[in-house]
Structure 1
Amino acid sequence: MNRTLYTFLFHLGLPFIALRLWLRARKAPAYAQRIGERFAFGLPAMQRGGIWVHAVSVGESIAAAPMIRALLTRYPQLPVTITCMTPTGSERIQSMFANEPRVQHCYLPYDFPWAASRFLDHVQPKIGVIMETELWPNHIHQCAKRGIPTVLANARLSERSARGYARFARLTRPMLAEMSLIASQTQVEAQRFLDLGARAESVVVTGSIKFDLTIDPQLLERAEQQREAWGLVQRPVWIAASTHAGEDEVVLSAHRDVLQSHPDALLIVVPRHPERFGSVFELTRQQGFSSVRRSTGDPVTQATSVLVGDTMGELLFLYALADIAFVGGSLVPNGGHNLLEPAALDKPVLSGPHLFNFLEIAAMLRGAGALEEASDSAALAASVKRLIEHPEAAKAMADAGLAVMKANQGALQKLLNGIGSLLH
């Protein structure tokens, strides 16, 4: 399949795109808003000639934030346009950069040539920086036609994804060949990009910029004050973060087991997607847990056994409240989520077995003794109980994770240097 056929099929899929938006809007009404932007109509007024950064959703937006702040400092004369594809990503971008007048935001239009063309004519960026693996052939081609260099930042490519791209070599090879810089997280992934058709001179290994996460000391102080206010100083607290459908039941079963030995334990459960906040809270109530929702502002009391983290932009704060961190998306075959956020906060890290999106990082943490994997509720409960009962083991795990973080920092600087070499 070449780009012409891809574009033809994409147009044929328009009714399915509309149906998907409608179905998503039933669960998350924000999907019914700003639809014009998804086709490059009604784009907000923008400063032109700056840096365009695309971060598909929340996770990529968070990962991109340190890079964006560094770019704003390095290039004080340039605006930064940040695009995404999801309402949650949009909300996070707007909250993170609310006080930065040079940051502007809209949805990235779908990958139709005419929509990509209208978007680029509207923004007229000097460079495009795409986070991780969000590759759109027509957007990349329209950039190449205009002489706009494109960067794939913090690039990752699993073996499974590489096989998928390889099936469409006539589409993939020209697309990757048009990219100016592919800043790969690992040598293995760099080789996958080369095998798929990327130019050797455009592929560099920088490492993951997620290692360059820095924690604001004020966040730690705020978390400590909150623990004191809620009477949690002596209570064991564990968090299950970024959970997906099918995981909450496993986590709650594990917590029930933990409560048998530690009846004062508190679980903080944070669903990955906002449309699940209400259903997860109801699930905790149905299962007989005394629960509160973070969004209501109700205090955690001695009777509370589950806190549902149903707010946006507070994940690091909620991690900081906990003693032990379980990272979701890993008990179900979703590929896992960012293991480095709790590691950066000096927490022992637990996960499920499905970590194919973070194989290299998981291997590093596992090898250092900073990560334990559990495949079911019994194993998860056993790990949590062991770490509660052996604080010295928990501290050793946490310190090992922090050491891995510090030993692998520097990717952001390499990425910024690569972007700088293309800006002219």
Structure 2
Amino acid sequence: MNRTLYTLLFHLGLPLVALRLWWRARQAPAYAKRIGERFSLSLPEVPPGGIWVHAVSVGESIAAAPMVRALLERHPQLPVTVTCMTPTGSERIRALFGEQVRHCYLPYDLPWAAARFLDRVRPRLAVIMETELWPNHIHACAVRGIPVALANARLSERSARGYARFAGLTRPMLAELSWVAVQTEAEAERFRRLGARPECVSVTGSIKFDLRIDPQLPLAAAALREEWDATARPLWIAASTHAGEDEIVLAAHRRLLETRPDALLILVPRHPERFAGVHELCRREGFATVRRSGGEPVARATQVLLGDTMGELLFLYALADIAFVGGSLVPNGGHNLLEPAALGKPVFAGPHLFNFLDIAAQLRDAGALLEVT
């Protein structure tokens, strides 16, 4: 499949795109807002000639934060535009940067939408986080002479096999990238094999190692545990859980309660649209549960605190004695293991860590990661 056929299929699939957007809006009403931006309509005013950074959702936005702040410090004369694809990513970008950056959703990968967006923003550099590869956006940048850098790039063997099946689309797209900054040498070789120019591929490690922890964070967490009268309670967190993991986590917590009836679990679903469903699951399973968003105090009888707020994950990690990182008991590839590790928390996760193989290996070698099944 080449880019022309891909574009034709994308246009033919627009009714399905609209249906999916409608379905997601039923689960998370924020998806029904700012739809025009997804088609390069009603774009906010953006000063031209700056730097465009694309981070698809929350995790990528957090990972991009040190880089974006460095760009703002080193090039204060250049406007920075940060795009994403999800409402949660949008909220995180606003919380991280406020009015320091311009922000909108990235339009869908249609030639006319990409052209309208780029002609509005007119960046002198495009930086795409991880592996958010959109052929028409990348080609539109190449046509306009805009260099495109892929930052913190990762590519599992499974994903590489998928891209290889569409070599007619993948190879010319990767050849148009100006720089591919990958996390590991194995991933660098996969990018080269798929068509990235060898001289444009560099191994830089993971940007997630650049995480900075506010020194006040552990102090605030300790104060809140004291307020809860939970200083001596065993407190563990299951963070960024996906469908199919919450039941396993709750079963493990039930077993823990048999020996430590004062134990407290902080359960943090990855996606906000699952908050209500997971809350209902906790109640249905008989756990005394409070929602963080409701402002209810954690009492001695509380068994589960549902972390249903945005932008608090590091603080919730700081509250815990030990951390489970989700997306790893189901084949989602895991999530950022470095956040709890940076806070000095023992970390455990499931076996599916293919998005963080190098980081997992380093933590494992240091005795800082326990894998469970």
Query: In the alignment, what sits opposite 1:392?
Result: none
Deviations 1:303-344 (A, max 9, x none): 111100000000000000000000001111111111110001
Give me the whole-angstrom Cα distance separating, in 2, the residues matched to 1:329 and 1:344.
19
Matches within 5 A, 1:341-360: 341-360=339-358
Give me the whole-angstrom Cα distance separating, in 2, the residues matched to 1:212 and 1:300.
33
Deviations 1:80-130 (A, max 9, x none): 1000001111111111112xx340100000010110000000101110000
Amino acid in structure 2 at the alignment position of 1:224: A
Structure 1 residue corresponding to 2:366, chosen from 362, 365, 368: 368
Give me the whole-angstrom Cα distance separating, in 1, the residues matched to 2:303 and 2:28.
28
Q: Give the C-alpha shift of residue 252 in structure 1.
A: 0.5
- 2:120 aligned counterpart, secondary structure: helix
1:14 aligned onto 2:14? yes
- 1:277 aligned counterpart, secondary structure: helix
Is the 1:78–1:102 Cα contact (8 Å) retained in structure 2?
no
Matches within 5 A, 1:137-216: 137-216=135-214
Matches within 5 A, 1:197-276: 197-276=195-274
Amino acid in structure 2 at the alignment position of 1:287: E
Give me the whole-angstrom Cα distance separating, in 2, the residues matched to 1:141 and 1:174.
9
1:282 aligned onto 2:280? yes
- 1:238 aligned counterpart, secondary structure: strand
The alignment's TM-score, normalised by the length of structure 2, stands at 0.99
Query: In the alignment, what sits opposite 2:4?
Result: 4
Is the 1:130–1:152 Cα contact (8 Å) retained in structure 2?
yes
Query: In the alignment, what sits opposite 1:66?
Result: 66
Amino acid in structure 2 at the alignment position of 1:151: A
Q: Give the ranges of 4+ consecutive aligned residues of structure 1 lying more than 6 Å apart after TM superposition.
A: none
Query: In the alignment, what sits opposite 1:83?
Result: 83
Q: Structure 2 unaligned segments of length 5 or more: list them.
A: none
Give me the whole-angstrom Cα distance separating, in 2, the residues matched to 1:11 and 1:63.
32
Query: In the alignment, what sits opposite 1:23?
Result: 23
Query: In the alignment, what sits opposite 1:119?
Result: 117
The alignment's TM-score, normalised by the length of structure 1, stands at 0.87
- 1:263 aligned counterpart, secondary structure: coil
- 1:357 aligned counterpart, secondary structure: coil
Amino acid in structure 2 at the alignment position of 1:56: V
Query: In the alignment, what sits opposite 2:96?
Result: 96
State the superposition RMSD in angstroms.
0.8
Q: Give the C-alpha shift of residue 367 in structure 1.
A: 1.9
- 2:274 aligned counterpart, secondary structure: helix
Give me the whole-angstrom Cα distance separating, in 2, the residues matched to 1:200 and 1:279.
47
- 2:355 aligned counterpart, secondary structure: helix
Amino acid in structure 2 at the alignment position of 1:96: L
Amino acid in structure 1 at the alignment position of 2:44: P
1:296 aligned onto 2:294? yes
Moved more, 178-187 or 220-229: 220-229
Give me the whole-angstrom Cα distance separating, in 1, the residues matched to 2:72 and 2:218.
26
Give me the whole-angstrom Cα distance separating, in 1, the residues matched to 2:204 and 2:95.
28
- 1:356 aligned counterpart, secondary structure: coil
